[in-house]
Structure 1
Amino acid sequence: MASSISWIKQHRAAALFVVVFLAGMTVNALGAYTGQIWFDESYSVGLATKSFFDIWRIGAADVHPVLYYWMLHLVYLVCGKSILAMRLFSLVGTALLGLLGWTHIRKDYGNATGILFTFFVLLSPWGIQESVDVRMYSWAAVFTMVVLIYTARICRGLLDKEGFDGIDLSWWLIAFGFALASAYTHYYAAIGAFACMFVLLIVVVYAVAVHVSGAGKALRTFVIAALACVIAYLPWIHAMMSQVKGVSDEYWIEFYFPQTVYEFLEFPVRTVAINGIIKNHDSNPLGPLPGIAFYVLLLCVVVASVVYVVTLLTGIKNHQTRSAQLQHNWFVVGLSGKLSMPVCMLYSTSLLSAGLSVAIHQSIMQARYLSCILGAACLALAVLFAKLLEVCDSDSKAFTTRLLGKRALLAVAVVSYIILGGVNQVQICNASYDWYNWAVVDYYRDVVRAKDGSLLPVYAEGNIGDTIVAAAPLSMYVPEATITIPTEKLAYEAYTPSIELVDDVIAHAKTKHGRMIYVGNGADDHYAQEFARQIGATVVESKTFWRPYKSNMWTISILERS
């Protein structure tokens, strides 16, 4: 016991990191043990059961690249179609992102920034929202954060005294290798990686212009690595162009002004749950406290930003921050700075996604996608608030009162962040573990069987973009009951054979007699009634079920056709 206490005293930073990491991972793991899935997760599960080749073929018709699905396929090969295993796989990505705070951020930015980075990552409302989803976001965040770390290292190396000779070749390989992995995981991740590479290119070109040692080698290395990435991405280019066309023709994301703008500007804090709390739509045991914490946190970020800028400008004016790097062009040095790189990744991704939305006449702006660059947002927060501690340590005792105010500001920000992350996780867990989530599954499992035990025909027609939201998860819960849907969309082959794709579901249903089931998404049986009219059937019974998990309303109808 005494030796443990002694170790903690000698390694306070390491001990604090361990506490932050374990506490954060515990909070994130709370939502991993639900068997619930929603449409997007059901797609991940379904596609992961296919072969590597089929994942490429079918995934090319979806809206995301396929690297994550290949990774998830490996989990499937080991653990089978286990929702828990797939959720824990996402949680591993979250853990790795948090560990970067100690293994990399601490070494590059200092103990305080490293620990704060891990804290902001693991307690982020958006991070928690996606940490155990059976989706690619936690792993995309790892890939893009590695790109940011190593491109920043290369930039600093080029602007240092040693120039190219001070840069390890492995940094180039890691930076461009993970940029390629980012591009094959999610398009927002690709944009984030591109932003970092663009900054790196500016620094490399500047280094060549001012004759930094080995700058020519750096430029050749950049060009070769970039060409290698382009060549490695060529097999996916055709699929990407097809996906862009599909998105422009039939995508579902809508842009809401000013809500969407707020969600982007206030990432990674403003989630759907937090948004409900702010607008007083959702009740919580802490009453108005989370809403207050949200605005207090935003104020703390603004104040910390002002402190950071003032401190930086004062240091430059007083020649306190003069270094080999600051002898160079201030814009280039600033562009590759501690705060600039993560901010550039975060807001370049936001701006480019907005530009692409305008170009294809369809919004692709969804705050959830920014989870791919969660690390950049959290690093920016960590750098800002670590500066408060740096100022506190460097100022004289004459400013004790002012310093206490800065420490208090950090404490208030940390407490506010904990409140928001905690409330967000409570909301998630309440929805995930609500018993009523299973009511629709249990009902469907009962009615889909005839009295003799045989399975009834099941249909989902109407607006297939809506109906598949209910049909897809049910096809995973009760795979023995085949659901017939009318579509030629290759992407939905991920659900075969539990979902059968046909050209004309009406003609298919007209070959059946007796009782059948209709699965619909929404609060009424409008589609079921229309379907029954077209095939000459009657609706015997319709039941609507509210699923708290991901806020879905499903309607199951029993039809009779003579």
Structure 2
Amino acid sequence: MSESTTNSATASHTEPDAGHSNAGAFARLRAVLANPRFHVVLLVAGSLFLLTDAFHGNIWFDESYSVGIANHSFADIWYYSSGDVHPVLIYWALHVLNLVFGQNITVYRLFTVAGAIALATLGYTHVRRDSGWKVGVLFSFFALFTPYISLMSVEIRMYSWATFAVMLCFIYAMRIIDTQLSVIPPAIAQAAKGKKCWAGTPRSWWLTCFIASLACAYLHYFGAMSAFMINLVLLVALCVRAWQRRRGGPAPLPDGKRASAPLIVLIIGCVAQVALYVPWILTAVTSQMGVVGGTYWANIVLPTTYIELATYPFLTSPLSFAARGSYGTGMQVAVKVIGYAAIVVLAFLIAWSARWATWRAGLHRQQRRELLARAGAASAAPVKHLRARHFYAWLVSKPIAPVVAALAVYFGVFAISWTASMVMNSMILYYRYLFVAIGPLLFAAAAVLSHVHTKPLVAGVIAVTLCASVANQALLLRDDYDPANNVPIEKFRETVDSVSEQIGGQMPLVVSTDIGYMGVTACMCEDVPQTYMDWQKGNWDRAYMAYSPTLVSKKSWEIIFDNFHGTFICTGQAQNDSLPRDISDLSQKDGFTLLEYHTYYRPYERTWMTIAVMTKQ
């Protein structure tokens, strides 16, 4: 497909009518959108949009774990992470940054944003070439301006790079499939030209697919599920092609090898991936399964869980709170208007899809009738066979097959994780984790929308997405750059210094059952020793060694306070300004007295953090 469109106007002495004027305007707009320079401008603008939220110094618990563990050696990271619920690759990457820049939250966050920008850039470097400029531009737009991506792109976690790895793996799997067709798409043929091949596919494409697949698995367990689904789709496609060739279908491979040659390459690649992942699989089986199965925090709440899974890309927590009035009446009205507009656009899109599907079905019926009439068939068997052939031809056609494959990957991950949740009796299907597979879903949305010829409908989808993203980003900036975020950390430091003076200059005992607050203070106040009362079952004590030497874990209050007498500090957090339960429970124990406490709201986490000074006789 041409990268640019040139327009010429025929001179005329008459005034053009409205139809010609509109057609000319649309042609000029199309020329602008199709120009590669517009795509670059979109990437730059979207990157700047994401970066606006990347320069605050706040972290919450999940991010504190990444920051804490990055201070340790590669070997220690492997060991400590074996008690966590995520693989090790992102922590190793952060450790490399730590070796170069030291513990620098801004550098860590910029690295995370780079993963989201890399995902969007695939729309320009790969999707545009493989599927046309429309799909490429729309994919980049969705990758930059889907509200939940804005939120996740700045979290110092593995999610942005995991989504990139999944999409990269998917792209090259589709390229491998395309090279096995009897008629290779021109864009794919051009991209493969001059490259050394294995079984008719460029060697570098196989290797990129396999390496990206392994990276998916080492970044996140849902990345491993995504990689499994992508390899499964690739396996099925190659099996079908081999079967067709054996039945005299498409032409043999260009290099004259057997029809099973691509399958052999894939199997060897999968075996290599599994072999390289076995060390971590063994670690997960022996260490992490007990953590997830026994004390995992996520639970199924009907119907909330399924609503979240269906709406999370657009209905982020800031937008949800805004719709309830947490950010004032003005923002509440604006978010609700965006929500209603989204419902209207979605309804029109569903109606268009139904009409298009009906039209396609009628077209296929007409084609079948014509073929049957020419063949002179009268029995039901040929009709049934012809239906199957037409459905298969439609399924594997260039516009449809990549969309079907993308949806198979996304909903396959959903099905695997849902089944695992039922088997393990623990909810591991959490929308934050499902987000890892969002790249193929965004690709499917872009591909479908590229075929919608109702321009106001396409404009409506883009406008609603952009408005939701801007509103979401405005709320994120308001919360994340709020000076109130620093208050709980500053007051914690002041309290430690005050109690230290009272007890003769020694560091006071600091305790809590709330690792969420303690993880943050362990990273932000590394010189203050802290003791976590680890009430959870499993290997969480190993995971929380990531905060060592600042934080140590003990299994009970009795162990912590054995032979202790004097003043100490207890911290905790809650979803409102009430006294956290651990502080309340501890103050009611014999010999314990609550001297004072202060509660501070932290917008970055939308929680209230409490610092209490207590004594034990």
TM-score of the aligned structures, taking structure 2 as reference length: 0.81
| Matches of 1:308 and 1:498, distance apart in 2 | 61
Query: Which residue does 1:339 correspond to in 2?
Result: 403
- After TM superposition, the structure 1 stretch with the greater mean CA deviation from structure 2, 208-217 or 424-433, is 208-217
Say which SS state the counterpart of residue 532 (structure 2) adopts: strand
Does structure 1 residue 246 correspond to structure 2 residue 291? yes
Say which SS state the counterpart of residue 450 (structure 2) adopts: helix
| Matches of 2:59 and 2:356, distance apart in 1 | 43
Say which SS state the counterpart of residue 567 (structure 2) adopts: strand
| Matches of 2:521 and 2:336, distance apart in 1 | 37
Does structure 1 residue 468 correspond to structure 2 residue 531? no
TM-score of the aligned structures, taking structure 1 as reference length: 0.88
Mapped contact 2:33–2:39 kept (Cα < 8 A):
no
Equivalent position amino acid for 2:402 in 1: K
Query: Which residue does 2:165 correspond to in 1?
Result: 143
Say which SS state the counterpart of residue 594 (structure 2) adopts: strand
Say which SS state the counterpart of residue 428 (structure 1) adopts: helix
Shift of 1:10: 8.6
Mapped contact 2:113–2:160 kept (Cα < 8 A):
yes
| Matches of 1:428 and 1:240, distance apart in 2 | 35
Equivalent position amino acid for 1:414 in 2: I
Query: Which residue does 1:481 correspond to in 2?
Result: 528
Match of 1:171 among 198, 205, 211: 205
Say which SS state the counterpart of residue 161 (structure 2) adopts: helix
Q: Deviations over 1:181-233 (max 9, x none)?
A: 10111111111121111111111111221225242101111111111111111
Equivalent position amino acid for 1:521 in 2: Q
| Matches of 2:390 and 2:501, distance apart in 1 | 83
Query: Which residue does 2:260 correspond to in 1?
Result: 216
Shift of 1:521: 2.1
| Matches of 1:546 and 1:10, distance apart in 2 | 48
Mapped contact 1:448–1:458 kept (Cα < 8 A):
no
Equivalent position amino acid for 1:351 in 2: A
Match of 1:386 among 450, 473, 480: 450
Query: Which residue does 1:105 correspond to in 2?
Result: 127
Task: Give the 5 Å matches for 1:61-76.
Answer: 61-76=83-98
Equivalent position amino acid for 1:484 in 2: T
Say which SS state the counterpart of residue 460 (structure 1) adopts: strand
Say which SS state the counterpart of residue 563 (structure 2) adopts: coil
| Matches of 2:199 and 2:319, distance apart in 1 | 48
| Pair 232,419 (structure 1): closer, same or farther in 2 beyond 3 Å | same
Query: Which residue does 1:200 correspond to in 2?
Result: 234
Does structure 1 residue 439 correspond to structure 2 residue 490? no
| Pair 329,287 (structure 1): closer, same or farther in 2 beyond 3 Å | closer
Query: Which residue does 2:386 correspond to in 1?
Result: none
RMSD: 2.8
Shift of 1:68: 0.9
- After TM superposition, the structure 1 stretch with the greater mean CA deviation from structure 2, 34-43 or 497-506, is 497-506
Equivalent position amino acid for 1:56 in 2: W
Query: Which residue does 2:313 correspond to in 1?
Result: 268
Shift of 1:554: 1.5
Query: Which residue does 1:184 correspond to in 2?
Result: 218
Query: Which residue does 1:451 correspond to in 2?
Result: 501
- After TM superposition, the structure 1 stretch with the greater mean CA deviation from structure 2, 114-123 or 518-527, is 518-527
Residues paired across the two proteins, number: 532
Query: Which residue does 1:407 correspond to in 2?
Result: 455
| Matches of 1:110 and 1:231, distance apart in 2 | 37
Mapped contact 2:308–2:431 kept (Cα < 8 A):
yes
Does structure 1 residue 416 correspond to structure 2 residue 461? no
Mapped contact 2:178–2:184 kept (Cα < 8 A):
no
Mapped contact 1:126–1:269 kept (Cα < 8 A):
yes
| Pair 117,10 (structure 1): closer, same or farther in 2 beyond 3 Å | closer
**Structure 2 gap ranges (5+):** 1-6, 8-28, 186-197, 253-257, 368-388, 535-539
| Matches of 1:270 and 1:78, distance apart in 2 | 38
| Matches of 2:442 and 2:352, distance apart in 1 | 14
| Pair 307,18 (structure 1): closer, same or farther in 2 beyond 3 Å | farther
Query: Which residue does 1:56 correspond to in 2?
Result: 78
Between the aligned residues of both structures, percent identity stands at 29
| Pair 207,525 (structure 1): closer, same or farther in 2 beyond 3 Å | closer
Say which SS state the counterpart of residue 539 (structure 1) adopts: strand
Query: Which residue does 1:302 correspond to in 2?
Result: 350
- After TM superposition, the structure 1 stretch with the greater mean CA deviation from structure 2, 502-511 or 377-386, is 502-511
| Matches of 2:417 and 2:45, distance apart in 1 | 34
Query: Which residue does 1:323 correspond to in 2?
Result: none
